[in-house]
């Protein structure tokens, strides 16, 4: 690797003196609170790899056995993509405008990903944006545009460099010096930096963590830092670990669980979960799915960093820009229940989530269990209630619990938001679990089978629809347009009621279905329906059977079910 050796040496000498055992420091409470209040940010994965429509860094073939990538693009091809990279339509102001239109409050750019390419004018390594046909400092332009618009700005910086032969090898100490010199540039030349997002790759993490963190804290005292610099072979980003210098942890491609420590789920708009530009056929996730991710992040007391992958031209893909703008339209109406809130006091579950701010609790009801919603008692008096998404809500509060009713016509497919104003701050109320009042299902834990399971993965197996777990579901392959889900009760049981909770009902996947029981050597229907919504809670003439199934005869794509419950007559 070629470096500007003299200038790099000067940078190292000018960097603050490194200490033997620096004292761990974290972001100030005010900086961390401001980041948490923002709730929603834009992640941007971009670089010369966008020319290939393949994943950033991971599509590069391996040239260092200490690194995990074994992609299809030969090293000599991947490492020379920069010679053709000329994103002439890149407009930093437009990127910031797109983020603002989406209701996002901060942006994080992959200034350096694992492939080692730098999106700034670096004097440490010539493998950077200034040696492309483009010859413009992307970090400088984006930081300037963000600062002008009042948008918080952050850098993603990969400590590992799969292109550098010294990384994790005999000259790793020299590599660390270059790494720290690059960080010095990023955190010195572009004004105030609000977020620093390190990454890990599941291998060793010899990054001189104490001195690297100390350097960052001295250069940007108010910066908020993720936990991944500390993560190596012993644990990944879904462990929930936050080291002594880090500020928050980062569940990846999943919504974090309820956790009052700071956290941020990093997710993708890509229809195929790709981070970098995946081409015109990649597509995007449905709006409802993306909003559901954001709502559940807020309800779990976390942030969401939603990734876009700009095209090689420097423009954001129209379908990605349109999707996040739709999210912004929803937030323009409902943002008070997301921004500046904390999660709880009702913990997330299949019924939905809650957030709170001051004396107000915002209920995000995503699945109605029946005519009324039953919640646990609160050590506070409800003074006023309002259905923010429309309709007349009725709330009854007793020492035993809270009962909420809203006409079915006023319930929203994705999220019905109800505000409860209390006589005291909600922050002091201990979090409580919320369970469906449906009662004990005869099918819980019983043997289950299905005609199809998503990619054959047991995580989405038939049994997940009968486990009473708020976070699991049965799912089918995306191209599935008909499927069945069966449970064996172990012995004949009399049933006359079923409750079905469809995952992501806003996608309106299940068009025709029937609940059937095995009788006299054939399946017979006890209930037939169309356009399954979020929750079906229905009764029918009692039947006695051991085998029951949900038979989906028409679906737009891959049906998926949270729970399928069966009950005896009362």
The larger pLDDT score, comparing residue 438 to residue 41, is at 41
Specify whether the CB–CB gap between 199 and 158 falls below 8 A: yes
Residue 165 contacts residue 64 (beta carbons within 8 Å): yes
Q: What per-residue confidence (pLDDT) applies to 92? A: 98
Percentage above 90 pLDDT, the chain: 85
Domains assigned to the chain: 5-337 (3.20.20.80), 342-428 (2.60.40.1180), 447-567 (2.60.120.260)
**Which residues in 377-506 belong to E strands, given as ranges?**
382-387, 394-397, 401-405, 416-422, 447-450, 474-475, 483-502
Instruction: Determine the pLDDT at residue 533.
Output: 86
Average pLDDT rounded to a whole number, residues 528-548 = 93
State the pLDDT at residue 136: 98
Residue closest to 285 by CA, chosen among 314, 309, 250, 302: 309
Amino acid 19: pLDDT: 55
Instruction: Say what the pLDDT of residue 5 is.
Output: 44
Q: Which of 118-132, 389-403, 501-515 has the lowest mean pLDDT?
A: 501-515
Length of the chain: 570
Least confident of 163-172, 190-199, 367-376, 538-547: 367-376
**Is residue 2 over pLDDT 50?**
no
| Proportion of the chain above pLDDT 70, given as a percent | 95
74 pLDDT more than 90 = yes
The Cα–Cα gap between 414 and 524 comes to 32
pLDDT at 367 over 90: no
Q: Are 569 and 498 in contact (CB under 8 A)?
A: no
For 204, the token pair is 């060793």
Is the pLDDT at 52 greater than 80? The verdict is yes
Q: Residues 6 or more apart from 251 whose CB is under 8 A from it?
A: 237, 238, 240, 263, 264, 265, 266, 302
Q: What is the arithmetic mean of pLDDT over 537-545?
A: 94
Instruction: Please name which of 334, 420, 413 lies closest in space to residue 380, comparing C-alpha atoms.
Output: 420
Q: CA-CA distance, 334 to 297, in Å (whole number)?
A: 15
- String of b and e for 80-102 (b: at least 16 CB within 10 Å)? ebbeebbbeebebeebbebbbbb
The whole-angstrom separation of Cα 438 and Cα 444 is 12
Cα atoms found within 13 Å of the Cα of residue 117, Cβ hemisphere only = 26
Q: Supply 285's token pair.
A: 């996730």
pTM: 0.84
> What's the confidence (pLDDT) of residue 350?
80
pLDDT attached to residue 182: 98
In our burial notation (b when 16+ CB lie closer than 10 A, e otherwise), range 286-309 reads ebbbbbbbbbbbbbbbbbbbbbbb
Mean pLDDT of the chain: 93
> Do 103 and 335 form a contact (C-beta atoms < 8 A)?
yes
**Is the pLDDT at 439 greater than 70, yes or no?**
no
Task: Select the more confidently predicted residue: 162 or 233.
Answer: 162
Find out whether 252 and 235 touch, Cβ atoms under 8 Å.
no
User: Which tens digit of pLDDT belongs to each residue from 205-255?
Assistant: 999 999 999 999 999 999 999 999 999 866 667 778 899 999 999 999 989
Instruction: Name residues whose C-beta falls within 8 Å of residue 459's C-beta, 6 or more positions apart in sequence.
Output: 472
What mean pLDDT is predicted for residues 31-50?
A: 98
Best mean pLDDT range from 4-13, 346-355, 383-392, 465-474: 383-392
Cα separation, 435 vs 507, whole angstroms: 24
Higher-scoring residue by pLDDT: 32, 435: 32
Going by pLDDT thresholds of 50, 70 and 90, the confidence category of residue 6 is: very low
């Amino acid at each position: 690797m070629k470096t500007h050796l003299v200038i790099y040496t000067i940078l190292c000498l000018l960097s603050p003196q490194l200490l033997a055992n620096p004292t761990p420091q974290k972001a100030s409470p005010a900086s961390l609170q401001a980041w948490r209040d923002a709730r929603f940010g834009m992640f941007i994965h971009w670089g010369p790899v966008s020319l290939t429509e393949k994943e950033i860094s991971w599509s590069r073939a391996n040239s260092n056995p200490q690194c995990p990538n074994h992609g299809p693009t030969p090293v000599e091809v991947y490492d020379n993509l920069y010679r053709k990279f000329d994103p002439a339509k890149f407009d930093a102001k437009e990127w910031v405008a797109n983020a603002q239109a989406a209701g996002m409050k901060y942006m994080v750019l992959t200034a350096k990903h694992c492939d080692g390419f730098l999106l700034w004018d670096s004097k440490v390594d010539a493998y950077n944006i200034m040696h492309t046909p483009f010859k413009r400092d992307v970090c400088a332009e984006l930081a300037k545009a963000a600062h002008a618009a009042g948008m918080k700005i952050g850098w993603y910086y990969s400590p590992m460099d799969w292109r550098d032969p010294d990384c994790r090898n005999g000259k790793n100490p020299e590599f660390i010096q270059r790494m720290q010199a690059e960080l010095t540039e990023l955190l010195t030349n572009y004004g105030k930096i609000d977020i620093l997002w390190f990454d890990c790759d599941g291998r060793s993490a010899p990054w001189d963590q104490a001195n690297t963190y100390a350097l960052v804290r001295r250069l940007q005292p108010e910066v908020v830092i993720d936990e991944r610099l500390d993560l190596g072979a012993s644990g990944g980003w879904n462990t929930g670990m936050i080291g002594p210098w880090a500020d928050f942890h980062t569940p990846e491609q999943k919504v974090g669980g309820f956790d009052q420590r700071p956290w941020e789920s990093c997710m993708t708009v890509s229809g195929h979960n790709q981070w970098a530009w995946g081409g015109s056929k990649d597509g995007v996730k449905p709006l409802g799915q993306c909003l559901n991710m954001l709502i559940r992040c807020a309800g779990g007391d976390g942030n969401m960093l939603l990734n876009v992958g700009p095209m090689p031209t420097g423009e954001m893909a129209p379908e990605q820009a349109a999707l996040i703008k739709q999210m912004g339209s929803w937030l323009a109406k409902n943002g008070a229940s997301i921004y500046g809130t904390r999660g709880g006091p009702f913990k997330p579950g299949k019924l939905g989530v809650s957030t709170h701010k001051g004396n107000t609790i915002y209920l995000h009801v995503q699945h109605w269990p029946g005519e009324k919603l039953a919640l646990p008692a609160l050590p506070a008096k409800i003074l006023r209630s309002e259905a923010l998404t429309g309709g007349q809500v009725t709330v009854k509060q007793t020492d035993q619990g809270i009962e909420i009713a809203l006409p079915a016509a006023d319930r929203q497919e994705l999220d019905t938001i109800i505000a409860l104003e209390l006589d005291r701050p909600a922050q002091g109320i201990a979090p409580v679990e919320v369970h469906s009042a449906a009662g004990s299902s005869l099918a819980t834990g019983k043997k289950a089978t299905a005609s199809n399971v998503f990619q054959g993965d047991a995580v989405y197996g038939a049994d997940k629809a009968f486990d009473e777990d708020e976070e699991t579901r049965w799912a089918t392959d995306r191209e599935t347009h008909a499927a069945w889900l069966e449970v064996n009760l172990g012995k004949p049981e009399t049933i006359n009621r079923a409750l079905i909770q469809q995952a992501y009902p806003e996608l309106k996947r299940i068009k025709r279905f029937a609940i059937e029981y095995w009788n006299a050597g054939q399946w017979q229907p006890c209930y037939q329906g169309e356009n399954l919504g979020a929750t079906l809670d229905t009764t029918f003439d009692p039947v006695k059977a051991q085998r029951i199934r949900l038979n989906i005869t028409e679906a737009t794509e891959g049906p998926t079910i949270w729970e399928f419950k069966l009950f005896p007559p009362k």
